[in-house]
């Protein structure tokens, strides 16, 4: 059981002020010495692809507050639940929590300005009572309190508002701005239309269309153009999240915040951040009872006049900025969080915390089960291993695979189980489907994973049937792009059987013509996934020594994949012949890489060495160039290693568009490309690859375009899912309590 002073619960995937305010409060309480737990739910309206907010994950990483694993009981003095929308439905895995006090911090008004309900108050009351016990509602500000008080049956509320917390010292760098020749007015916000002015006249008044000022808007999107068009020439607009908020605020002189007529701003976290940054803020008058004399209250039409006045009265401007910072410190600083918790449960029991607690306290204890198809190559298995090997020590990954290369998983120290594909054991598809359902059901029952990751192009019916027995289990389809045009529509329709599609990045993404492009925006996308980071590879000297290569002669690596469904023997023999010391280039050293699942046992000439190791990418620095198929893994590994490569493609119709991947790299000047059906072109391109100036050009282009490895981001996302309780599929209807009912 986890024993904490304060358990903070909510949907930590909100991208804006809700999550940052939760993180600020948790940090303040932990630094003060309170033991803080974090209970992550995915029961709000957000898409499952959204990860836990980075600032909350950072608290767990630092050991300041621990994310509670699923099924771990928690005992707390105080439960702070955040945002009613996070408690509008039941979680599939009920939190096992006992607590003395429970408060629901209400980050959103009960109704909008038009009177439309924003959440079901009776349902939230019933759910929080069922999960945590009797709960007091704590509005984040006076505007939220009014909407709750005006309900026919208001929920029980705390006497004081539960203001957002912000440490102004976090924004000290933003206050060290340089003066601008033209004053800069700006604002940051999500691109939600109602959070911005609703008509052009108000918009260009609040953010003036005037050559005497500059306007910078972070979070403005094209969907707002119909309201504004044409955009004023003095505006600079940036998408939401394009810059860190502190950096953006440091580029402004004034902060102007006005929204649409139907929006009720619950608190104004972005305003608080602007004040902490030492900006003069222009706000509607209804913010006065929250921020007092720390802002200028006016209409949008008065903004430009106030800017001109303050530009001429520097002392007044500086006094207003200083007053804003001091207001944040006194009314909304970390001390407020500590004081209101201390009033409920007393002072911290362990004294003031150090900068962080031991790292072990923040280790994830989730369970992830990977399932991969057999595949012609090793791409499915390798991608799963790439993320599994990057999990925290407390996370338990298990790999279930139909690939005959399962031994490489054992070599990596990861638990693996091998299931044979129906064709390899002579079963008809229907019988195998039933067998797969039974086997996976038993595997799920035994390992009890929190997350199931399938890497393959075809979601098997037997697999989906087994998953139906675990509605609490996160289902992830790890699906690479670059499918052949028009292929796979029947498989993509099965995406609805998964909670999330995790899409590894693709360097040739700009030319992708496959059907997955239509749904890629709904996927959690990362950079191309590679098994190794560059620093994990052997040095050139060590790799050559291990391979027995002459350090002074050029070496060529041949990477033709498993070769089980496409014959590239002619290209291989061309390389063998051109490097034959009896008739060809006597200086060349040829190394042929053999995949562990290869069914082809080609006889190799005496002058060709064999590389039978995994991963091959560990040895890439030994080589001056390579000839390779353009499969996902090999392609991205060679490009990342800046290894000059002549790519050929496996053109079997069941493969991805390898030729397109190779063609795109060639057009970018990063590789050479030869078509398999033209042997003369292949010979010419290989001869060109042997020229030092060609290799230098290709290597330089690869280095300039080098991309990050997406394996760590994918692993972190999956690990976050293990710590997050998904919503229950059951509909919840609050039932009136009877006299005999009790919790």
Picking from 205, 289, 160, 188, the residue whose alpha carbon sits closest to that of residue 244 is 188
Instruction: Name the 3-class secondary structure at 141.
Output: coil
* Cα distances (Å, whole numbers) of residue 700 to 413, 488, 632: 36, 37, 21
Residue 504 within any structural domain of the chain: yes
Q: Is 42's pLDDT higher than 60?
A: yes
Is the pLDDT at 463 greater than 50, yes or no?
yes
Position 563 scores a pLDDT of 52
Residue 355 pLDDT > 50, yes or no?
Answer: no
* Percent of the chain surpassing pLDDT 90: 66
Indicate if the pLDDT at residue 105 is higher than 90.
yes
pLDDT of residue 115: 86
Residues 101 and 221 occupy one common structural domain: no
Reported as type and span, the H/E element at residue 558 is strand 555-559
pLDDT in tens, 548-597: 999 999 999 999 875 544 567 777 888 888 888 887 777 899 999 887 65
Confidence of residue 680 (pLDDT cuts 50, 70, 90): confident
Residue 371: pLDDT over 70: yes
CB 432 within 8 A of CB 439: no
- In this prediction, residue 464 carries a pLDDT of 96
Residues 274, 384 within the same domain: no
Query: What pLDDT does residue 423 have?
Result: 66
Q: Does residue 665 lie in a domain region?
A: yes
Those residues whose C-beta lies under 8 Å from the C-beta of residue 485, and which sit 6 or more positions away, are 513, 514, 515
Q: For residue 357, is it within any domain?
A: no
> Can you tell me the distance from the alpha carbon of 255 to that of 277, in angstroms, rounded to the nearest whole number?
10
User: Would you state the pLDDT for residue 352?
Assistant: 52
Q: What b-and-e string marks burial along 33-50, b requiring 16 or more CB atoms within 10 Å of the CB?
A: bbbbbbbbbbbbeeebbb
- Same domain, yes or no: 180 and 246: yes
**Residue 466 and residue 521 in one domain:** yes
65 shares a domain with 181? no
Answer yes or no: do 694 and 600 share one domain: yes
Length of the chain: 743
Question: According to the 3-state scheme, what is the secondary structure of 345-391?
Answer: HCCCCCCCCCCCCCHHHHCCCCEEEEEECCCCCCHHHHHHHHHHCCC
Say yes or no to pLDDT of 361 above 50. Answer: no
Q: Above pLDDT 70, what percent of the chain? A: 93
Mean pLDDT of 230-249: 91
Kindly list the strands in the beta sheet with 524-525, ordered across the sheet, starting from the edge strand earlier in the chain.
Answer: 415-418, 396-401, 367-372, 451-455, 474-478, 500-503, 524-525
DSSP label at 51?
P
DSSP single-letter state for residue 705: T
DSSP string, 580-636: -TTTS-SS-EEEEE--TT----PPPPTTEEEE--S-GGGGGGG-SEEEEE--HHHHH
Alpha helices in 133-224 (DSSP H): 142-149, 172-175, 200-206
**Residue 260: pLDDT above 80?**
yes
Q: How confident is the model at residue 364 (pLDDT cuts 50, 70, 90)?
A: low
pLDDT tops 90 at residue 356: no
For the chain, give the longest Cα–Cα distance.
98
Residue 740: inside a domain? no
Q: Is residue 654 part of a domain?
A: yes
DSSP 91: B
Quote the CA–CA distance of 384 and 372 in Å, as a whole number. 8
Are 220 and 260 in the same domain?
A: yes
Among 729, 301, 701, which residue's Cα sits nearest to residue 497? 729
pLDDT given for residue 155 in this prediction: 95
DSSP state of 740: T
The conformation of residue 111, written as its DSSP 8-state character, comes to B
Residues 126 and 247 grouped into a single domain:
no
Rounded Cα gap, residues 409 and 523, in angstroms: 27
pLDDT at 599 (0 to 100) = 59
Residue 596 in contact with residue 523, Cβ under 8 Å?
A: no
The CA distance from 519 to 502, in Å, is 11
Within 10 Å of residue 680's Cβ, how many Cβ atoms? 9
* Tally of domains in the chain: 4
Contact 81, 9 (CB under 8 A): yes
Report residue 336: phi and psi, to 5°. -65, -45
pLDDT value of residue 597: 59
Boundary-marking domain end, from 139, 162, 185: 162
Co-location of 99 and 137 in the same domain = yes
Residue 743 has what pLDDT? 29
- What is the tens place of the pLDDT at every residue in 697-707? 999 999 998 88
The closest alpha carbon to 653, from 452, 486, 450, 503, belongs to: 486
pLDDT tens, position by position, 106-137: 998 998 888 889 999 999 999 999 999 999 99
Instruction: Choose one of 334, 353, 381: the last residue of a domain.
Output: 334
Average pLDDT of the chain to the nearest whole number: 89
Q: Taking the CA atoms of the chain, what radius of gyration do you get in angstroms?
A: 30
Q: Residue 737 domain-assigned?
A: no
Q: How far apart are CA 87 and CA 74, in angstroms?
A: 18
H-only helix segments in 114-253 = 121-132, 142-149, 172-175, 200-206, 225-228, 245-249
Tell me the CATH number at 144. Answer: 3.40.50
Alpha-carbon gap, residue 644 to 555, rounded angstroms: 12
Q: Are residues 370 and 318 in the same domain?
A: no
List CB contacts of 471: < 8 A, sequence separation 6 or more.
92, 728, 729
Residue at a domain's end among 128, 162, 196: 162
Residue 127 lies in a domain: yes
In 184-229, the DSSP E strands lie at: 184-188, 214-218
Q: Rounded distance, CA 416 to CA 409, Å?
A: 6
Q: What is the pTM of this model?
A: 0.88
User: What's the count of helices (H) and strands (E) in the chain, helices before strands?
Assistant: 25, 26
CB 187 within 8 A of CB 283: no
Paired with 104 in beta bridges are: 81, 137
Q: Find the mean pLDDT for residues 173-199.
A: 87
User: Residue 166 burial (CB < 10 Å; 0-12/13-18/19+)?
Assistant: buried
- Rounded CA separation 629/609 (Å): 19
The pLDDT confidence band at residue 687, using thresholds 50, 70 and 90, is very high
CA dihedral sign, ordered 269, 273, 274, 275: positive
User: Residue 690 in 3-state DSSP?
Assistant: coil
Return d(Cα 141, Cα 368) in angstroms, integer: 41
Q: How far apart are CA 717 and CA 711, in angstroms?
A: 10
Residue 230, preceding peptide bond in cis (omega within 30° of 0)? yes
CATH no. for residue 579? Answer: 3.40.50.2000
Each residue's pLDDT tens digit, 297-351: 999 999 999 999 999 999 999 999 999 999 999 999 999 999 999 999 999 876 5
Do residues 250 and 310 both lie within one domain?
yes
- Supply the DSSP symbol for 34: -
Residues 142 and 272 in one domain: no
Q: How much is the pLDDT for 569?
A: 75
Confidence grade of residue 362 (pLDDT, cut at 50, 70, 90): very low
pLDDT interval class at 34 (50, 70, 90):
very high
Structural domain including 50 reads 2-162
Give dist(CA 489, CA 494) in Å, integer. 9
Q: What pLDDT shows up at residue 359?
A: 44
- Residue 130 CA: distances (Å) to CA of 87, 497, 598, 735: 11, 29, 57, 11
Residue 138 has a CB neighbour count (10 Å cut-off) of 23
CA distance 389 to 378: 16
Average of pLDDT values for 467-488?
A: 92
Cβ count within 10 A of residue 498: 21
Close Cβ partners of 305 (under 8 Å, ≥ 6 residues apart)? none
pLDDT band at 741 (very low <50, low <70, confident <90, very high): very low
Residue 324 belongs to a domain: yes
CA gap 544, 619 in Å, rounded: 8
**Among candidates 40, 8, 41, 44, which has minimal Cα distance to 24?**
8
48: closest CA among 483, 653, 502?
502
pLDDT of residue 393: 87
């Amino acid at each position: 059981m986890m024993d904490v002073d304060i358990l903070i619960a909510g949907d930590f995937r909100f991208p804006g002020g809700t999550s940052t305010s939760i993180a600020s409060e948790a940090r303040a309480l932990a630094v003060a010495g309170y033991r803080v737990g974090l209970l992550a739910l995915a029961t709000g309206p957000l898409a499952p692809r959204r990860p836990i907010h980075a600032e909350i994950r950072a608290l767990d990483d630092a050991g300041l507050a621990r994310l509670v694993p699923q099924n771990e009981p928690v005992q707390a003095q105080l439960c702070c639940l955040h945002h009613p929308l996070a408690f509008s439905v039941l979680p599939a895995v009920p939190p096992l929590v006992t607590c003395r006090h429970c408060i629901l911090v209400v980050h959103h008004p009960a109704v909008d300005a038009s009177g439309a309900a924003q959440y079901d108050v009776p349902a939230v009351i019933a759910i929080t009572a069922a999960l945590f016990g009797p709960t007091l509602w704590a509005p984040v500000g006076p505007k939220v309190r009014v909407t709750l008080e005006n309900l026919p049956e208001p929920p029980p509320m705390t006497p004081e508002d539960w203001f957002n917390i912000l440490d102004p010292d976090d924004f000290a760098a933003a206050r060290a701005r340089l003066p601008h020749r033209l004053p800069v007015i700006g604002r940051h916000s999500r691109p939600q239309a109602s959070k911005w002015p609703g008509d052009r006249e108000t918009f260009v008044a609040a953010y003036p269309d005037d050559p005497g000022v500059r306007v910078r808007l972070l979070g403005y999107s094209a969907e707002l153009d119909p309201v504004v068009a044409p955009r004023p020439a003095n505006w600079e607009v940036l998408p939401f999240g394009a810059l860190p908020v502190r950096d953006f605020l440091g580029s402004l002189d004034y902060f102007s915040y006005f929204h649409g007529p139907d929006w009720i701003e619950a608190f104004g976290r972005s305003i608080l951040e602007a004040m902490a940054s030492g900006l003069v803020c222009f706000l509607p008058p209804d913010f006065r009872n929250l921020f007092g004399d720390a802002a200028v209250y006016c209409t949008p039409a008065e903004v430009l006049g106030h800017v001109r006045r303050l530009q001429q009265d520097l002392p007044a401007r500086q006094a207003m900025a200083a007053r804003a910072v001091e207001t944040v410190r006194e009314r909304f600083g970390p001390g407020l969080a500590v004081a209101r918790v201390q009033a409920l449960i007393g002072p911290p029991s362990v004294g003031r915390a150090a900068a962080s607690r031991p790292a072990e306290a923040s280790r994830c204890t989730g369970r992830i089960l990977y399932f991969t198809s057999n595949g012609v190559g090793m791409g499915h298995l390798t991608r799963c291993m790439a993320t599994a090997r990057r999990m925290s020590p407390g996370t338990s990954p298990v790999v279930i695979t139909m690939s005959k290369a399962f031994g490489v998983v054992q070599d990596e120290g990861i638990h693996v189980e091998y299931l044979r594909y129906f064709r390899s054991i002579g079963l008809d598809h229907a019988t195998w489907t039933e067998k797969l359902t039974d086997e996976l059901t038993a595997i799920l029952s035994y390992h009890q994973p929190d997350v199931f990751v399938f890497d393959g192009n075809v979601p098997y019916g037997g697999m989906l049937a087994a998953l139906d027995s675990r509605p609490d289990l996160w289902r992830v389809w790890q699906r690479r792009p670059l499918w052949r045009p028009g292929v796979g529509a029947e498989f993509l329709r099965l995406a609805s059987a998964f909670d999330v599609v995790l899409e590894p990045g693709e360097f040739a993404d700009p030319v992708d013509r496959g059907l997955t492009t239509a749904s890629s925006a709904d996927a959690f996308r990362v950079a191309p996934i590679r098994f190794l980071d560059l620093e994990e590879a052997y040095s050139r000297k060590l790799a050559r020594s291990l391979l027995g290569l002459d350090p002074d002669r050029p070496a060529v690596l041949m990477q033709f994949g498993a070769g089980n469904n496409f014959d590239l023997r002619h290209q291989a023999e061309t390389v063998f012949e051109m490097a034959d010391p009896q008739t060809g280039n006597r200086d060349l050293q040829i190394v042929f890489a053999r995949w562990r699942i290869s069914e082809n046992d080609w006889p190799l000439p005496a002058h060709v060495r064999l590389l039978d190791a995994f991963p091959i990418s560990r040895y890439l620095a030994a080589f001056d160039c390579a000839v390779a198929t353009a499969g996902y893994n090999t392609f991205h590994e060679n490009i990342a290693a800046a290894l000059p490569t002549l790519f050929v493609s496996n053109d079997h119709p069941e493969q991805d568009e390898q030729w397109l991947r190779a063609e795109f790299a060639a057009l970018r000047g990063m590789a050479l490309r030869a078509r398999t059906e033209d042997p003369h072109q292949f010979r010419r391109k290989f001869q060109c690859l042997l020229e030092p100036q060609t290799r230098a050009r290709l290597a330089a282009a690869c280095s300039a375009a080098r991309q990050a490895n997406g394996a760590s981001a994918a692993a972190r996302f999956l690990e976050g899912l293990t710590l997050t309780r998904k919503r229950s599929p059951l509909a919840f209807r609050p039932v009136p309590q009877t006299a005999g009912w009790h919790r």
